[in-house]
A and B are shown apart, each in its own frame.
Chain A
Amino acid sequence: MASLHRTNGGGRVDRARTLSFTFDGRTYQGHPGDTLASALLANGVHLVGRSYKYHRPRGILSAGAEEPNALVTIDRGDGRAAPNLRATQVELYDGLVAESQNRWPSLSYDVGAVNSLFSPLLAAGFYYKTFMGPRLLDSNWAWHKIYEPLIRRAAGLGKAPTLPDPDRYANRFAHCDVLVVGAGPAGLAAALAATEAGARVILCDEQAELGGALLSEWAVEIDGTPAASWVADAVRALAASPRVTLLPRTQAFGYFAQNFVALAERLTDHLASSDPAAARERLWQVRAKEVVLATGAIERPIVFPGNDRPGIMLADAARTYVNRYGVRPGSRTVVLAACDSGYAAALDLHRAGIDVATIVDPRPNGNRTLIEAARTAGIAIEVGATVIATRGRQRVTAVRIARIGADGSAAAGSWIPCDHVAMAGGWTPSVHLFSQSRGKLAWSDAAQAFLPAAAAPGQAQRSAGACRGVFGLAAALEDGFAAGKAAADTRVRKRSFNVTHDLTDFSGIVGTPGTGAHVSKAFVDFQHDVTVRDLKLAAQEGFRAIEHVKRYTTTGMATDQGKTSNLNALAIVADHLGKPIPEVGLTTFRQPYTPVSFGTIAGTSRGDLFDPVRRTPCDGWAQAAGAVFEDVGAWKRARYFPEGGEDMHAAVARECRTVRGAAGMFDASTLGKIEVVGPDAAVFLDRLYINSFQKLGVGRCRYGVLLNEAGFIIDDGVIGRLAPDRFHVTTTTGGAARVLNMMEDYAQTEFPDLKVWLTSTTEQWAVIAVQGPRARDVLAPLLEEVDLGATSFPHMSVKAVRICGIEARLFRVSFTGEMGFEINVPADYGVAVWEAVWREVQKHGGCAYGTETMHVLRAEKGFIIVGQETDGTVTPDDVGLGWAIGKSKRDFVGMRSLSRPDMVRGGRKQLVGLLTADPKLVLEEGAQVTAELHPPAGTPALGHVTSAYWSAALGRSIALALVADGRARIGTRLNVPMPGSDVPVEVVAPVFLDPKGERLHG
């Protein structure tokens, strides 16, 4: 089906095949090889979006990644909706569903366009003025109806999908000798040179086809070969080399330290249907020995009033639509040309049968050859003129041109009817990646651009071609080849290229043509609706630095990051401040170059793999038993085991009674375990822990407390001596890795003379605690020839045993205050032994209990939990553990700090117990403790509640607290302000049950 808007032939689309797609619900046709933008233009659709602030109708500006206007949402169903995609980069496929954005109810009739009426309220800095200043309108009306909706939209034009992303994303690390970014003429030539040198090469380009600007040429011949054939030959030669990886549809979006470059490869978005198991996108993390940046340049719009109407586009984009996609973007064109590419576009549009009404060239002197060529083609030319106004609502219908006088002012001239305008403002080198690599840029007057100057240390990279201001095809090819040769092997022979129809002048103009006095509501940043007036206003209001102007006006802060606008904005601000451009500075280029989906960055780190969960060997048993779990670090721990619809309170009370009355079993496998081995193991532990270990007998255990050098408790645990040179050290569940790292640090760097080896054994042992007055009876039948009697195996003992025939380490330890044992068996036998113990526990009327019961039982005994009773500012003495400090020790980690003045000064917070006057009331953990019942505001608290529980054993609530001079306050009354009421409490010793330890030693 021939289209009015298609050229008669040529281009790279496959006209033999037709694809159907919808845009805002209407069905259109296109061809393979089209982008969504080219297919829309081929159907005469120019109005594709509404601007973000004023909801002005907007058309397709560009043909590439820099597109600010033609942002669409592509919906592939099942939650696969990607917003803010540039129609100029979306490859067409059969059945594609695209929706325009930022309009309601429809693109043609958009209610939000009323915002144009409020434009005086929406000038630069309106956010700040709205937040900071007096309300312009006295009611909330303006806020709710105007400001807030606008500010909400500022987060992005499209709507984020609400369903989980069902797609898969892949990740790959890669290394290469030379990474070439961009497969235009310079990039292809660089890859050819590096490949010739035998280097491992990765060549990536964001487009589906490699070739860049060469794909839009029809007349150019390179060394006698038409450009398209030259590209095909080059790609074939590269693909034939096993050392070359070609990555089309791959955007290099971030350049990090030491030549680490992140690439996003699109794998399936261009396909009408794909295997659901196939990854949608792939993140490449490339470490390259050398990087060649061949990222090209972006054509600048020209700043003139009404320059944002649909039908007004960049000249080179118009040329690309005609030459590459076979699309006529208009029927009657006015070309505003400030450099050679405008003339090239005019000639190619003319050749495609478009009526080029006139070329308007703001410069006094253009390229004579091109002017002659245009005249020969019968195109009228206005030199030293510009456009000062345009007409047309949803498509441009006419432009008014004006001559620029000697004083730079523009006098009103005639209206020229047209339905298309091509602007060639000059070319801005794409230095984004170079700048991300922390390379320094320098302003070039000749190129009217910032160009790469000094590379950052550690970044072995070079720019080639247009991205470093080397324009023209022959020059870019040669520059690219030289860069590839320098990156790979300087022995490769230099190459020159013979190119026909080459262009020379690309600098154009920056800012406004002439003085710009006639220019006010001319758009600079199309995506964020920033006009010349906004920029001038910012300068008038005192903003001098471009980074401040950027934030105040939001220029360059949209999803396109100002690819087409930044330099014009900079020039306008510089002009208004009367400073040269380099003195005003340049905003920072940040990753990503174009938006990257969260899925690509997250990769496989989603769901269960986002933050992997640690489960104990007995986890399955606890799940089957209906345990309720809690997260402790990365571990899932059983919190309580409800029976018959019990809530937590009831279940915990029952578990507590059962443990104290009979026996309970508890999964303690998450405890950190470190095997400390070597002839100096005891000396080493002596230097780390506050306790003495050298005189600890084999088969005995000690409760160890670990400080940092500042003297504060950071960990605790039971340490058992298995042999003169072997200790079994346990740590808190959360502290295992930290303690091992600290031990390694001291072993390696402070005490390298000690012969000691450290091994994490946390995951090697399953640990089953059996606690309660019947604990011995529970274990006895399972053990072979072991006397568990109080004298032969007393509290704080350890022994190698066989349980159920399995070699195990049996500890007699207690964290409940009851007689207790902890069985360590190899993790693989954990469930089997657990089940054997469970059978015995049941015989004695026992139960399994969880962490909540463990917490209550230990609190009844006043045992601390590091991280609950301690917070990194607590010393051993503060929590009543001064007794644990080895009396004859000269040094251990943190010892010296314990005698610093602040550590021995009175008034330190000390661990005490609190009993509420109302025994039923359980205090809030974290609540403040005060002396007065209703302290005046500003009174400092004496301390805070660290633990508070219902104690089934005592039939009342209990609490532990850190209180200033707490031990001296025992027997007095204090207060705990709680929501609704202040609670009087009695200060008591922090051991509520069996202070003499008779149950423990039984």
Chain B
Amino acid sequence: MLLITCPYCRMARPESEFHYGGEAHVARPAEPANVSDAEWAAYLYMRANPKGVHAERWRHIHGCGRFFNAVRNTVSDEILATYEAGMSRPDLGDGTKDAR
């Protein structure tokens, strides 16, 4: 059971209070009618699946209910950072920020 720090509650809580929400920073196009089929398909279906550092969404569903983002190493399960929804991904100085 992972410990996850909710950036809104500012405390580490057990994983069972949270729901996983898929890859983070996949923004819905502001004007879907104006994007091409290929761009829309990429938004719908194309996701990174890295072995290593991954920015992803979580929801503190059995706590404050807020969605937030976390940077997690998918190999070690280490959660390197959590931050509020809408904030940009923090640079952890490991070269993974722009790797997507």
Which residues from chain A sit less than 8 Å from chain B, CB to CB? 256-258, 260, 285, 287, 438, 456-458, 709-710, 741, 744-745, 748-750, 752, 890-891, 895-897, 900-901
A-B interface, 3 closest residue pairs, ranked by CB to CB distance from nearest? A896-B32, A457-B78, A258-B3
The size class of the interface chain B forms with chain A is: 20 to 34
A458: chain B residues at CB < 8 Å are 76-78
Expressed in whole angstroms, the minimum distance between the Cβ of A260 and any Cβ of chain B is 5
Instruction: Tell me whether A744 and B3 are in contact in the complex, defined as CB-CB below 8 angstroms, given that A900-B40, A900-B41 are known contacts.
Output: no
Residues of A within 8 A of B19 (CB): 741
Contact A749–B1 (Cβ < 8 Å): no
Question: Can you list 27 A-B contacts (CB < 8 A)?
Answer: A257-B77, A258-B1, A258-B2, A260-B1, A260-B3, A285-B1, A438-B76, A457-B78, A458-B77, A709-B28, A709-B43, A709-B44, A741-B19, A741-B59, A741-B61, A744-B59, A744-B67, A745-B21, A748-B66, A748-B85, A749-B86, A752-B86, A895-B33, A896-B29, A896-B32, A900-B37, A900-B41
Asked if B67 contacts A891 (CB within 8 A), the reply is: no
Q: Taking the nearest CB of chain A, how far is it from the CB of B40, in angstroms?
A: 5
Instruction: Name which residue of chain B comes closest to A256, CB basis.
Output: B1
Chain A residues whose CB sits within 8 angstroms of the CB of B43 once the complex forms:
709
B31 at the interface (CB under 8 A from A): yes
Contact, CB under 8 Å: A745 / B32: no
Q: List residues 16-42 of chain B with CB under 8 A from any CB of chain A.
A: 19, 21, 28-29, 31-33, 35, 37, 40-41
Question: Hey, what's the 0/1 contact readout for B54-82 against A, CB within 8 Å counting as 1?
Answer: 00010101000111000001001110000
Nearest A residue to B78, CB-CB: A457
Residues from chain A with Cβ under 8 Å of B44 in the complex: 709-710, 897
Bound Cα distance A744, B65 (Å): 8
Complex CA gap A362/B63 in Å reads: 63
Are B77 and A896 interface neighbours, CB within 8 A?
Answer: no
Give complex CA distance A750, B86 in Å. 9
Closest to A748 in B: B67
Which partner residue on chain A sits nearest B37 by CB separation? A900
| Least Cβ–Cβ distance between A687 and chain B, in angstroms | 10
User: Cβ of B21: which chain A residues have Cβ within 8 Å of it?
Assistant: 745
Residues of A within 8 A of B35 (CB): 896
Structural contact, A750 and B37, CB atoms closer than 8 A: no
A562 CB, min distance to chain B CBs, angstroms: 26
Residues of B within 8 A of A257 (CB): 1-2, 77
CA distance A44 to B24 in the complex (A): 67
Q: How far is the CA of A285 from the CA of B32 in the complex (A)?
A: 48
Set of chain B residues within 8 Å of A260, measured between Cβ atoms: 1, 3
C-alpha spacing A748/B85, complex, angstroms: 8
With CB as the reference atom, state the residue of chain A lying closest to B22. Answer: A745
Contact A287 B3, beta carbon cutoff 8 Å: yes
A457 & B32 in contact (Cβ 8 Å cutoff): no
Q: Would you give the shortest CB distance from B28 to chain A, in whole angstroms?
A: 5
With CB as the reference atom, state the residue of chain A lying closest to B31: A891
Q: Could you tell me if A891 and B33 are in contact, using CB atoms closer than 8 angstroms?
A: yes
Q: Contacts of A256 on B, CB cut-off 8 Å? A: 1
Q: Which A residues are in CB contact (< 8 Å) with B65?
A: 744
B9 nearest CB across to chain A (Å): 15
Contact check, A896 vs B40: say whether CB atoms are below 8 A apart: yes
Query: Bound state CA distance, A901 and B41, in angstroms?
Result: 11
Whether B28 pairs with A750 at a CB distance below 8 angstroms is yes
Contacts of B66 in A (CB 8 A): 748
CA distance A710 to B46 in the complex (A): 13
When distances are taken between beta carbons in the complex, the residues of chain A under 8 Å from B33 are: 890-891, 895-896
Which residues of the other chain, A, contact B37 by a CB distance below 8 angstroms?
Answer: 900-901
What residues on B are CB-neighbors of A749 within 8 Å? Answer: 57, 67, 85-86
Residue of B nearest to A901 (CB): B37
Please, which residues of chain B bring their CB within 8 A of the CB of A900?
A: 37, 40-41
CB distance from A752 to the nearest CB of B (A): 7
| CB-based nearest A residue for B27 | A750
Once bound together, how far apart are the Cα atoms of A710 and B44, in whole Å?
A: 7
CA distance A744 to B28 in the complex (A): 15
Q: Which A residues are in CB contact (< 8 Å) with B67?
A: 744-745, 748-749
Chain A residue contacts of B41, Cβ below 8 A: 900
Contacts of B57 in A (CB 8 A): 749
Q: A260 to B15, alpha carbons, bound, how many Å?
A: 12
Provide the residues of chain B in CB contact with A897, threshold 8 Å. Answer: 40, 44
Closest to A260 in B: B1
Minimum Cβ distance to chain B for residue A899 (Å) = 8
For B76, give its contact among A456, A890, A891 (CB under 8 Å). Answer: A456
Distance from A890 Cβ to chain B, minimum over Cβ atoms (Å) = 6
Question: Smallest distance from the beta carbon of B56 to chain A beta carbons, Å?
Answer: 13
Q: Which of A260, A890, A896, A901 has the most CB of B within 10 A?
A: A896
A464 → B minimal CB distance (Å): 24
B32 near A895 with CB under 8 A, answer yes
Most B Cβ at <10 Å: residue of A258, A287, A748, A900: A258
A457 x B76 contact (CB < 8 A): yes
Hey, which chain A residues are within 8 Å of B2, CB to CB? 257-258
- Complex: how many Å from CA A744 to CA B64? 12
Q: How far is the CA of A901 from the CA of B2 in the complex (A)?
A: 43
Closest to A709 in B: B44
> Which residues from chain A contact B59 at a C-beta distance below 8 Å?
741, 744-745
**In the assembly, what is the distance between CA of A257 and CA of B79, in Å?**
11
Name the CB-closest residue of B to A458: B78
Which residue of chain B lies nearest to A896 when distances are taken between CB atoms in the complex? B32
Chain A: CB-nearest residue to B40: A896
